[in-house]
Amino acid sequence: MIGLLPVDKPEGPTSHDIVARARRATGVRRIGHTGTLDPFASGLLLLCIGPATRLAEYLHPLPKTYVGVARLGQATDTDDRTGDVVGRSEAWRELDETAVRAAFTDQQGERMQVPPAYSAKKVDGQRLYRRARRGETVVAEAAPVEIHRLVVRRLALPDVEFEVECSTGTYIRAIARDAGAQLGVGAHLTELRRTRIGPFDAASALDPERLDREHVLQALVPPLAALAHVPRVDVDGDDARRIRNGGTVARPGVLGLLVVAHAGALVAVAEGDGQRVHPRKVFHDA
């Protein structure tokens, strides 16, 4: 069993809980995922099954789309509803809707974003959330992120529903936090759902309640299809064998990361240098 399994994670379980369910359902121990969802969040989780775990690094950079709800007037130490309230303000009642929308949409584009205090970001080799739980005050350095699109979908103050498409590494909790700070009232995230990762949609993902071997086999995306966003080169049988044995093949003009395919199956993830294609990771049963 090898491939990519899109799962629609409900609120409550951790991403690791979903991986554990998939292991029990399939009997496959080698299962990973391409990006964690917090327990209070729901939505699309991409599981890599079997040898497809080697593809995770090529799926991780795909842009992600979320729908979130921010509540103005309350700041929490985690920047979401799971934390303790550390600030309150009733000034949200006096806010102009145009200013509220701008506090969110102004965050579009390339920007530096400070990770939440309770996050998996590492500072001095330790996860921030571990240090925060010990009572340490540690502020992570701002990191570059790109928010490709941010739309306010609904205003029902103090709640603001918004949709965002962003680069990997973007914290949606931080978007809510920063909007609240700009408005001077504080804010935290109360709801979060990941609806897309690249071409994969939560609407067509597998319900974890149907996470059994039969439904997994039906929903499994073959490795070659999972890498449809990567440029592709098709080779004949002889070249496929050569590449799977670690050899190179001539392909003038081919540059950069690519996938090599033969007869509709993944042969390798490779690199083109303009003259030849060099395998980076080869697959024998994909």
Give the architecture-level CATH label for domain 230-282. Roll (2.30)
pLDDT the model gives residue 1: 85
Examine the pLDDT at 218 and tell me if it is beyond 90. Answer: yes
> Burial letters for 89-108: b for 16+ Cβ neighbours within 10 Å, e otherwise?
beebeebeeeebbebbbebb
The DSSP annotation for 97-125 comes to HHHHHHHHHTT-EEEEEPPPSSSS-EETT
Q: Give the separation between CA 272 and CA 249, rounded to whole angstroms.
A: 10
Residue whose structure tokens are 């080698």: 30
Question: Do 64-197 and 230-282 fold alike per CATH?
Answer: no
**CA 181 to chain CA mean position, Å:** 25
Mean local confidence (pLDDT), 273-280? 96
Mean local confidence (pLDDT), 234-242? 96
Does 38 participate in catalysis according to the annotation? yes
- pLDDT bin (cut points 50, 70, 90) of residue 4 is very high
CB of 14 closer than 8 Å to CB of 39: yes
- pLDDT bin (cut points 50, 70, 90) of residue 132 is low
Q: Which CATH number fits domain 64-197: 3.90.1200.10, 3.40.50.1820, 2.60.40.1190, 3.30.2350.10?
A: 3.30.2350.10
pLDDT the model gives residue 116: 87
Domain limits, the chain? 3-62+199-225, 64-197, 230-282
Tokens of 226: 């999972």
Which residue out of 8, 17, 38, 159 is catalytically annotated? 38
Examine the pLDDT at 135 and tell me if it is beyond 80. Answer: no
Residue whose structure tokens are 């603001």: 160
How many residues are recorded in the chain? 286
What CATH number was assigned to the domain covering residues 3-62+199-225? Answer: 3.30.2350.10
Tokens of 104: 């969110």
pLDDT the model gives residue 141: 83
Q: Give the separation between CA 195 and CA 58, rounded to whole angstroms.
A: 19
C-alpha radius of gyration, the chain, whole number: 22
Mean pLDDT of the chain: 93
- pLDDT bin (cut points 50, 70, 90) of residue 157 is very high
Examine the pLDDT at 168 and tell me if it is beyond 70. Answer: yes
